[in-house]
Structure 1
C-alpha cells in the first residue's frame, strides 16, 4: 500500500538536513559484524550469531517513502564517509539449519529505553535476551532477528546518564523522592548529552523504524513477521504503517496505542498497581482465609504508619556502583509505593505482596528485605536508558497531551496522590530540559484501517502499565477483527504476556505458521 503523499512530504522536510541523493548512495551504507555466540545454545537445530550493525543516525527518504539504501557488496560490508554520524546496534540472529518459514524480527523490549538483552564488554550473553521469549516461538525453519532500539543499553551512543542511577539508589535508600532532585539531575544529564554532541532529535520512532528496514534490506528478506512488546508495539505498528509491503504479520504484546494519553490515567493506574494484589487476595477465599482477610486495609494502615514512623532496617543489596553493600535504609510509604508499582509488571511478584505486607505488620521484615534487594538489583542492573525514554517520548507526545486534566484526575484518586501529581509535573519538564521537540506531523493520527495484514494482540488482565482495555479499544477499530486480526486477553497475566507463558508461546508459534486462520483454529489451549 502506498504511503500518503502528505506524510511523505512531511517526512522529507523532517530529514532534509540529512538528505543524500541516489548518486551518493554508494558512499553511505552499513556494516554488519556477526560472530558465533560462544558455547551458548538457544534452540536445537539453530545456529546463533551475535554481533553489531552500524547504521547512519539520519536517513534520506525518497518521495515514494523508500530509503536511500545501497546494494550489498560481494564482501557483505559497506563503507560510508568517516564524517557520517552513526549508531551501532547489537544483534542476535537465530538461523535454522533449513530455512523454510518467513523470518521474524523482534523490535525491542519497550520503555522506550529498555533493553532486550545485555551486551557487556562487547560480548552478548544469549541467555540474557528478553526473559520468556524462546527461539521455539519462531517455529521450525524460521529465522529470528532480535535487536535493541537506538539509544538503549548496549547501543552506541548509549543515551543514559549515571547520575540517574545514583539518584534512584539514593532515593530508594533514604525513602525520600524529591522532585527537585530529579530536576537537578535532568539539567546535569542534558549538559552531559550536549557535551557529547549527540543530536537527540535523531533518536525517535521514525529512525528506529528505518533501522529495522535497513536490516531487512541488508539480510535480503522480502517480507517478515514483526513482533513488539510494550513500547515496541508502537515501533512494530509504525513499521507496518510505513512499510506494509514488507510486513507479513504483526504480533503486539502489551500494546501501547498511539492515541493514548497515559498521563490522564497515571494516578488511577498507580492506585490500582498498589491495591490490585490485595483486592484479588481479599476476593479469593483461600488467600483471604490464610491471611485473615482485609489485606488491602493492612496495606493502607502500613502506609499511614510509615508516614509518621519510617522504619530503619539493615539491608544487603546492590549499590549504584554495582557492588554488594550492607547499610541502613529508611522505609517510608513512598518506598512501599515504588516497590509495589515495580512489582505490578510481574504477575508472580503480585501474588506475594499480601503475604509480605502481613509479615511487616507483625514486624517480620525479612521477606520485605529480600524483595527490596531483588528490586534494587533490577533497578541498578536493568540498564534503562532514561535519556532515550525522554527522546522517544517527547517526540511521540505521550507525556503531555492534557497535563492539567491529568493533575485534576490525580486529585480524585483515593490514595495519597501527591507523588502522582509531582511525577506528572516533573514529566512535563523533560522535553524542555533536553530540547526535544515533538514530531512535525501528528504521530498520533494513526488510521487503523491502513493495517490490512494479519495481527495477533496479546494482553494481560493484570497489566497496569498497558491495561487490557487499551488493547480492546485498539482491536475494535481494526478493519479485519475476528477474521485475520485477533485479540487474546490472559486473565492471570500482567505485562509482557509471552514472558514464561507456554500457552502464549504456542499460540504465537501457531499464528506465525497460519497467520490468516481464525483464532479458534490456531489457539493451542483455552487459557
Structure 2
C-alpha cells in the first residue's frame, strides 16, 4: 500500500538528501488503497522538456511502431537499447537505456495494413562492477498502483537514485540490475496520467476550511477518462496481468532464462503474479512492504489510518527522552492541538512552487485536516514518524517552523512523484475494488472516523472509478493466490511501523508458504516503516545473503562485521 489520502489528496514526503531519497521512496511505494489519495505528479527538470513531453502524452493515442522504412513492418514485441544520457557524467557502472515495444492488446493482429496499437515502456539496464556472476534482478513496478519508478531525466545527475539501497546486493555482487516501468505509468505510452486531478487536490488542500468535493472529483475523473478514450486508449489493457506479460517479453528479448524479481508495495503483487504465471523464469522473489492479493485493503484502511495518529505518540510516551514530564500522554497533547487550531487556525507562510515553476511564498490558514494529511504523508518514513511528537510540541508553543516546512514540501508540485491516476483506476478496478467487502469497509470508516480524518469519502469515490473508466474486473481468481505452489526462494521485508502495508500482512503471508524458514524468509525491522529497501546497510546485507544463498539468510541484527564481510566478498 503506498499512498492513501484523505478525501482524494496526495501523499508525499521530503528534506534535501531526504527530499530526493523520499521522492524515490514514494515513487517505489504508493499503495493501492486510495488512488488519488496518493496522486502524484512531477515535471522534468527542464521546463521546455516538460511541456513537450506532456503535450505528446495528451496528443498521442499510441506509439507508432516505425522502423525507418514504412515498407518494413516492425516486429512486436521488440526492444531498442542505446546509451543512457547520464553516461556522459557517470562512469561507476555501465548502463544502457531503452524502450520495450509491445502490443496494447496482445491478441490484436499486426500487419502492414493494420498496425497494432503499441505500448512503449522505458527500461534501464545497469551492469555490475565486475564479472557477471548470477541472474539479473528486476524491479517490478512502482507502488500505487500507478506510481513511476522514476525512469526519467530528472535524476540523470545522480543515477544512484535508481539503485539506492540495493547496490551492494546487485551491482557490487555480480548481478545486473534492470528497471522497467509498468504500462500506463511514468513515461510509458500510452500514459493514463490525469494532471487535473492533482491540481484539484492541491486546490482543496490549500483552501480553508477544507472540504472534500466528490462531485468535482467525479467530474474531473470522467473528463480524463473520456479524453483517453477519445485518443483510442482502452484502460482495460493496463493491469497486472498485462504488466507481467510485458516483463516476460523483455526477459525473452534480452535472452535471460531466469531472473530475480524485486517488488515494493504494489510492485510485490506484480512480482507474485509473475512468479505464479512464470515460475520457470523466476529465480527468487524479494518482497518489500508486501501487499498480498488476498487482503482486503479497503476493510483494513480505516484502522490503519487511525493508527497513524496514535502510533508516534505511543512511541513517545514509552521513551523517557520524549514523554511529557507531567505524565500527560502525547496523544492527548495532539488532540488538544488539533482542537485548538480548529478554533483558532494559525496562518503560515509556506513555499509553493506551482505547475509553471513559479517559486514564492503562499499564505495559508492551517486546518486540522491539512495537519493530519501532512503527518499521514510522512508516515512512510520511520524517522519522520518518531519526529512527529516534537513537531506538535513546537507548534503548541507557536513554533511552526518544522510543521510549515513539512506542509511546504507536501503542496509543492515539484516534489510530487509521477503518479498516473488512470493507471491507478485500471489496476485497482481489475484486482481490488470489485472484490472488496464494501459494507464492512464503510462500517469501519465510520467506526474510525475522527474530527480531522475521514476515509469514507475516499472509499465512496473509489467505488465509482470502475464505472467511470469502464474497467472489467479480473475473471481468473486473481485474489485466490495458491501459496502452496510458491516453492521458489522468497525474502519478505517488513517494517514494524508500516501503516500502509502492515506487518500483519507479511506475517500471515509468510505463515502460508510451504518452504518458510528454509528458503522462504520473513525479516521485520523495528522502527522502520514503508519501503525497507532504502539506504540501510543491514537490509542490504540481508538481501545479499539471500541472493547468494537463500538457505543461509542472515538475521536482522546485522553487525558491522557482518556487513563488512559481505561487502568484501562482493567486491
Indicate whether the TM-score tops 0.5: yes
Which of 383, 392, 395 in structure 1 is aligned with 2:418? 383
Q: What are the residue-to-residue correspondences of 1:1-20 with 2, within 5 Å?
A: none
Which of 459, 462, 477 in structure 2 is aligned with 1:424? 459
| Post-superposition CA distance 1:24-78 (Å, at most 9, x none) | x98533132321343477784x3122222222212259xxxxxx9xxxxxxxxx9
Which of 34, 37, 40 in structure 1 is aligned with 2:82? 34
Q: How far apart are the structure 1 equivalents of 2:411 and 2:112?
A: 42
Structure 2 unpaired stretches of 5+:
1-72, 564-571
Residue 97 of structure 2 is matched in structure 1 by 50
Q: How far apart are the structure 2 equivalents of 1:35 and 1:275?
A: 49
| Larger relative contact order (Cα-Cα within 8 Å, sequence gap ≥ 6) | 2
Is the contact made by 1:449 and 1:478 (CA closer than 8 Å) also made in structure 2? yes
Residue 452 of structure 1 is matched in structure 2 by 487
Which of 185, 196, 209 in structure 2 is aligned with 1:163? 196
Is the contact made by 2:496 and 2:529 (CA closer than 8 Å) also made in structure 1? yes
Q: What are the residue-to-residue correspondences of 1:110-509 with 2, within 5 Å?
A: 110-120=143-153, 127=159, 129-130=161-162, 132-138=164-170, 139-175=172-208, 176-178=210-212, 179-289=214-324, 294-377=329-412, 381-398=416-433, 401-413=436-448, 415-416=450-451, 419-509=454-544
Q: How far apart are the structure 2 equivalents of 1:80 and 1:50?
A: 28
Is the contact made by 1:92 and 1:126 (CA closer than 8 Å) also made in structure 2? no
**Is the alpha carbon distance of 1:133 and 1:196 closer, same or farther for their aligned partners in structure 2, counting shifts above 3 Å?**
farther
Is the contact made by 1:89 and 1:156 (CA closer than 8 Å) also made in structure 2? yes
Residue 19 of structure 1 is matched in structure 2 by none
Which of 137, 152, 161 in structure 2 is aligned with 1:104? 137
| Post-superposition CA distance 1:79-101 (Å, at most 9, x none) | 98872111111111111342121
Q: How far apart are the structure 2 equivalents of 1:125 and 1:54?
A: 27
Q: Indicate the larger mover: 150-159 or 235-244.
A: 150-159
State the shift of 1:351 in Å.
1.9
Is the contact made by 1:41 and 1:48 (CA closer than 8 Å) also made in structure 2? no
**Is the alpha carbon distance of 1:150 and 1:436 closer, same or farther for their aligned partners in structure 2, counting shifts above 3 Å?**
same
SS of structure 1 residue aligned to 2:217: helix
Is the contact made by 2:353 and 2:414 (CA closer than 8 Å) also made in structure 1? no
Q: How far apart are the structure 2 equivalents of 1:323 and 1:382?
A: 18
Q: How far apart are the structure 2 equivalents of 1:470 and 1:508?
A: 20
Q: Indicate the larger mover: 322-331 or 145-154.
A: 322-331
State the shift of 1:235 in Å.
0.3
State the shift of 1:435 in Å.
0.8
Is the contact made by 2:545 and 2:554 (CA closer than 8 Å) also made in structure 1? no
Q: How far apart are the structure 1 equivalents of 2:499 and 2:103?
A: 36
Structure 1 unpaired stretches of 5+:
1-24, 62-67, 69-77
Q: How far apart are the structure 2 equivalents of 1:53 and 1:101?
A: 23
Is the contact made by 2:495 and 2:528 (CA closer than 8 Å) also made in structure 1? yes
Q: How far apart are the structure 1 equivalents of 2:91 and 2:137?
A: 15
What is the TM-score when the length of structure 2 is the normalising length? 0.79
Q: How far apart are the structure 2 equivalents of 1:332 and 1:263?
A: 26
SS of structure 1 residue aligned to 2:352: strand
**Is the alpha carbon distance of 1:418 and 1:443 closer, same or farther for their aligned partners in structure 2, counting shifts above 3 Å?**
same
Q: Does 1:519 align with 2:558?
A: no
Q: How far apart are the structure 2 equivalents of 1:365 and 1:457?
A: 39
What is the TM-score when the length of structure 1 is the normalising length? 0.86
